[in-house]
Amino acid sequence: MFRTHTCGDLRLSHIQQEVTLAGWVQRVRDKGAMIWIDLRDRYGMTQLILNENSSENLKSIARSLGREYVVQVSGTVIEREAKNPKMPTGEVELLLSEINILNSSEIPPFTIEDETDGGDELRMKYRYLDLRRNPLKNNLLLRHKLLQTTRKFMDELEFLEIETPYLIKSTPEGARDFVVPSRMHEKQFYALPQSPQTFKQILMVGGYDKYFQIVRCFRDEDLRADRQPEFTQLDCEMAFVHQEDILNTFEGLTRRLFQDVKGITLESFPRMTFADAWKFYGNDKPDTRFDLRIHDLDTLVKGHGFPIFEEAESVVGICATGANSFTRKQIDELTEWVKRPQIGMKGLVYVRFNEDGSLKSSVDKFYSEDVLKTWAEAMNAKPGDLILVLSGASTPVRKAMSELRLEMGTRLGLRNTQEYRPLWVIDFPLLEWDEESARYHAIHHPFTSPKAEDLELLETEPGKVRANAYDLVINGVEIGGGSIRIHDAALQSKMFDLLGFSPEQAQAQFGFLLGAFQYGAPPHGGIALGFDRLCAMFGGTDSIRDYIAFPKNNAGRDMMIDAPSLIEDAQRKELGL
């Protein structure tokens, strides 16, 4: 080893010891008689010192050091005169007897500090320098811990880690596949997995009972800000289980991760149907850290001559607790906010519930205080609250109200980043009608089972069939989802039929699974959690890219290695391309 200790090790107990460290020069402060050097490695920072007794030769070496030089230094640990309580090594410094320059460094294109002056593109290109910064380092340390804790938990529950192939078969269902041309089989392609879905089901048919894997998945989608063409998921499957067994197992995992990694004991994991999530929150991943539920007001607002409400398909409101303190200007801002194209509303109606019990609305012309009182009662409003009402076509208005609810949560400080509220959203619809292709699409995927009590509806009203499907949602973020699968070949074939597969297509693409179902498939189900997203949630930020060592940019490009890139002609020809 080039060192006896790391830069995070030294304490008062090491005083007078001769030690050797190695690391990067964070900075050099030269005061003539004294020179201080901050030496950094993964484990911390240690202050090195040269004093009036140090040789001029050593000092001249020290003066030659630039930022990010790599050095090996030896010396004696001494107590600092001016201690730094913010640094774990802040009570000591190393009086140098030797400096060995292991490598020099150009001046970095941005500062290696917690707050850097480098822009996104530059930091992506010089990722190896950005990775030296504490915020990224801490993210990767967090990810490491989540990886180990997750596997430990799964192993304790006798889940088997089984690796599934990356060179598989392309299937047109779902997102676009990345494909890999085969050199040995002309004109044929492998595909990279969007998920190991069929393989984990095959493992259940193979009797493996409980499977998990932390696995890379690939989707060739047009990238949005927070999407990566390759991403990591915790992928799991269990046999001989009911839905609640799976929810309880992964509730257990989530609890363990929060406990062991963040020291947080989570409270309850309520279950909420998709129907209720839509009704009360206007989306399928409610942030339940705060209430402000959506109320349907149609029966209360119609018949009073206000043309906008009369003509609206749906009128919905929320009661923003304590928001009557908002000024007129703040409410005007909110009105502008809901009119933005992303929200798309024409306006915002409000009712102030004053401290004196009086009610005052922006539509007083049409609604008497007595009518407003019926609204307040329906919404359980109290003096000091502010009622906000939107109207329009029912789906868009509900989505807009969902956004407004989140915005009000933020403005009222109700979205505490230190608070975690998990939730299972259950009973998702099985299918949705797609106008463009004029057929049903699977909301989860084609292997999700319909609820037994809705089976008959498959024939008559497929859109109304509920699935044994569930999502894990924390603070309004979807962390993962899964379902109880179909394990019956006939039902699976019927599902492919409903989704527009001809029997031949189904056979060509999923013949192996239909085949497997002929040989004793057990009841089974599973879940997949987005691991990058989970890390970001634990890190308390939104950007998954900051939790991936080498992410791609929004154009799917690795800026550091400059990929994708042209390949050699010989290579292309060999592949028959």
CB contact burial 388-410 (16+ within 10 A = b; e otherwise): bbbbbeeeebbbbbbbbbbbbbe
Q: Which two tokens stand for residue 307?
A: 């043309």
Shorter beta-carbon distance to its own copies: residue 240 or 433 = 240
Shorter beta-carbon distance to its own copies: residue 40 or 295 = 40
Smallest distance from its own copies to CB 526, Å: 15
- What's the CA gap between 367 and 317, in Å, rounded? 15
What does the CA dihedral 229, 234, 237, 241 come to, rounded to 10 degrees? -130
Shorter beta-carbon distance to its own copies: residue 82 or 452 = 452
| String of DSSP letters for 39-71 | EEETTEEEEEEE-TTS-HHHHHHHHHPPTT-EE
Shorter beta-carbon distance to its own copies: residue 67 or 382 = 67
Q: Which two tokens stand for residue 489?
A: 């070949």
Helices (H), ranges, 305-393: 307-311, 328-339, 369-378
Smallest distance from its own copies to CB 509, Å: 9
**Cα 219 to the center of its chain, rounded Å:** 16
- What's the CA gap between 328 and 348, in Å, rounded? 13
Shorter beta-carbon distance to its own copies: residue 11 or 83 = 11
Positive or negative: CA dihedral 408, 414, 419, 420:
negative
Q: Which class for 341: exposed (0-12), middle (13-18), buried (19 or more C-beta within 10 A)?
A: exposed
CB 66 within 8 A of CB 80: no
Shorter beta-carbon distance to its own copies: residue 68 or 471 = 68
Smallest distance from its own copies to CB 71, Å: 9
Identity (one letter) of the amino acid at 33? A
Shorter beta-carbon distance to its own copies: residue 223 or 378 = 223
Shorter beta-carbon distance to its own copies: residue 94 or 319 = 94
Shorter beta-carbon distance to its own copies: residue 177 or 385 = 177
For 335, phi and psi rounded to 5 degrees? -65, -45
Q: Which two tokens stand for residue 298?
A: 């149609």
Shorter beta-carbon distance to its own copies: residue 76 or 507 = 507
Rg (CA), the chain: 30
Smallest distance from its own copies to CB 191, Å: 8
> Can the peptide bond before residue 383 be classed as cis, meaning omega within 30 degrees of 0?
no
Smallest distance from its own copies to CB 303, Å: 53
Smallest distance from its own copies to CB 195, Å: 14
CB 140 within 8 A of CB 190: no
* Residues comprising the chain, all counted: 577
Shorter beta-carbon distance to its own copies: residue 184 or 452 = 184
- What's the CA gap between 391 and 380, in Å, rounded? 20
| String of DSSP letters for 174-219 | SSPPPEEE-SSSTT-EEE--S-SHHHHHHHHHTT--EEEEEEEEE-
Shorter beta-carbon distance to its own copies: residue 302 or 494 = 494
Smallest distance from its own copies to CB 123, Å: 12
Look up residue 462 and give its DSSP letter. Answer: G
Q: Which two tokens stand for residue 495?
A: 């599902």
Smallest distance from its own copies to CB 558, Å: 7
Shorter beta-carbon distance to its own copies: residue 13 or 519 = 519
Shorter beta-carbon distance to its own copies: residue 268 or 519 = 519
What does the CA dihedral 75, 81, 84, 85 come to, rounded to 10 degrees? 110
- What's the CA gap between 21 and 8, in Å, rounded? 10
Q: How many other β-carbons are positioned within 10 Å of the β-carbon of residue 60?
A: 9
- What's the CA gap between 290 and 413, in Å, rounded? 10
Order of all β-strands in the sheet with 271-273: 160-161, 210-218, 230-239, 524-530, 477-484, 469-474, 422-426, 271-273
Among residues 38, 93, 469, the alpha carbon closest in space to that of 277 is found at 469
Smallest distance from its own copies to CB 122, Å: 13
Shorter beta-carbon distance to its own copies: residue 182 or 543 = 182
Smallest distance from its own copies to CB 257, Å: 15
> Can the peptide bond before residue 450 be classed as cis, meaning omega within 30 degrees of 0?
no
Among residues 284, 273, 272, the alpha carbon closest in space to that of 398 is found at 284
Smallest distance from its own copies to CB 53, Å: 28
- What's the CA gap between 28 and 113, in Å, rounded? 15
Smallest distance from its own copies to CB 548, Å: 7
Smallest distance from its own copies to CB 1, Å: 5
